[in-house]
Amino acid sequence: MRGITTTINEIRQQVFAEIAALSYEYDKNDKDFFKKMEHIPYRVVPGEESTHSDSVFLERAIVAERMRLAMGLPVRKASEQLPVSDGAQECIIPEKYYEPPLVNIIKFACHKCPDNVVHVTDTCQGCLSRSCHVVCPKDAISFKDGKSVIDQEKCIKCGKCIEACPYGAIVRQERPCAKACGAGAIGSDEYGRADINYERCVSCGMCLANCPFGAIADKAQIFQVIQAIKEGTHVYAAMAPAITGQFGAKCTPEKIRSAMKALGFRDAVEVAIGADLCTLQEAEDFVNEVPDKLPWMGTSCCPAWSVFAKQTLPDRANCISMALTPMVLTGRLLKKQHPGCKVVFIGPCVAKKLEASRKSIRSDVDFVLTFEEVLGMFKAKNVDFDKLEETDCMHGASGDGRAFAVSGGVAEAVVNVIKEKYPEYGDVKVQTANGLAECKKMLIMAKAGKYDGYLLEGMACPGGCVAGAGTVQPIAKSANAIKIHKDVSTNKHAYESNYKDVLSELED
């Protein structure tokens, strides 16, 4: 649903803007300040009649939980008698990190969608061939009033009847969130509502992006980022390569730095800088380790893919590159250049929030915001992009570094470095997969020895980072914008990076 202005998008944007405005207005001397939170659901859902459900009270209750998650607070159960602002006082601390889980289901917003059910639609013609009945291996299909009927207790969901029906009158209904989850982490609770198995969940956010009821949301740090800015700390925005075009046509690459400064950031830099350094690391690791020490090597930049690969093939966990991710390398570079500063990674990715919360990374990256959350900040500040100054946003990142945002971009960047710096290695075999379902197939093939000697690029989101759960614009449009931004880069490849000489210092 990225790029389509749906009711869910509108409500999410209103909530993010309200929480951002609340943080910009926060007064530590006002003891009753957080009581203002109680009024927000009434602004988002005004009036006395519901618009999207049977109850205006339910709609406001759902908005209230989205507000809490946007502040990094846990969702409340319907049985809990707690004010919306419960625990909000703790959110004024800029160092506040998420309490797990990161991705949450607002249970009373869940529609209890059918999960993997095969049924006959009204378009059944009651044809003479009755091919659906003929192919069913469990005799689960009978006929009533000339129409096909499926006995759900007998049905094994094999799908043969779906394939056999000449009218396409038999369909498989799947819970959208479960269908989107390549990790198989979505099930049902005792009430038939969606439920997340957090032992499997890798926080890719695809369930969030695909729930048509907006019942799934991740925690955010909007409030904490703004408090850090207001404290006077120099806070830098580290912008992921997928940022191009995310805030609309008026926020051009030449205006992004000015736009971030309008929100209170000290300055903004491209994470594509870190992508170049990550490329150099992975190229060196690959030529030194594959195939002599490792049968194959997987890229490291996508945290959801990295975790998923290690879960899927634990005995091959060492095959996933240990190279620091672009986010971490950029954060370290900023903190080296500006001691005492704070770094906010701004990107398309929910899993980056989980990565940044690791104790080993907290000193490198202080906060993570998605493009969608930052858009809420722009709305809260009423930033007029037309009035922003155009500045040079090129910080020495290569075109290959910017192409990390699209599927295949990481592998291409690594191959280009190997060709230039290690020509004696010869041709590099590459296999890419995007979306965890495809990544799983690739890993199974790798386990079987089909990809020995290969560089494997995995991306959790179908299409790459441009399809992340926190993106705003259509995926195809983002991919095209990345290509344009890549082509105008002064440096084409990572080995031309202006920062390559400091890589060894950042690795320590």
pLDDT tens by residue, 436-487: 999 999 999 999 999 999 999 999 999 999 999 999 999 999 999 999 989 9
Note the pLDDT of residue 98.
Answer: 74
Cα–Cα distance between 214 and 446 in angstroms, integer? 36
pTM of the model: 0.94
HSE-CB for 252 with a 13 A CA cutoff: 10
Cα–Cα distance between 459 and 361 in angstroms, integer? 21
485 Cβ neighbours under 8 A, 6+ residues apart: 241, 244, 253, 402
What counts of helices (H) and strands (E) characterise the chain?
19, 15
Beta bridge partners of 347: 370
Token pair of 258, please?
A: 């000015």
Token pair of 421, please?
A: 């710096």
HSE-CB for 262 with a 13 A CA cutoff: 22
DSSP for 218-260, written as a single string: E---HHHHHHHHHTT--EEEEE-GGGTTTT-TTS-GGGHHHHH
Note the pLDDT of residue 1.
Answer: 58
Cα–Cα distance between 258 and 266 in angstroms, integer? 10
- Give the residue among 290, 491, 508, 301 at the shortest CA–CA distance from 400: 491
Phi, psi of 171 (to 5 degrees): -130, 160
Whole-angstrom CA distances from 292 to 86, 288, 289, 295, 457 are 56, 8, 6, 7, 20
In this prediction, the residues of the chain whose per-residue pLDDT falls under 70 are 1-3, 94-97, 393-395
- Give the residue among 360, 467, 346 at the shortest CA–CA distance from 405: 467
Q: List, in order of start, the domains of the chain with CATH numbers.
A: 7-106+181-223 (no CATH), 117-173 (3.30.70.20), 224-499 (3.40.950.10)
Does residue 371 contact residue 247 with C-beta atoms inside 8 Å?
Answer: yes
Convert the pLDDT of each residue in 284-310 to its tens digit.
999 999 999 999 999 999 999 999 999
Note the pLDDT of residue 96.
Answer: 64
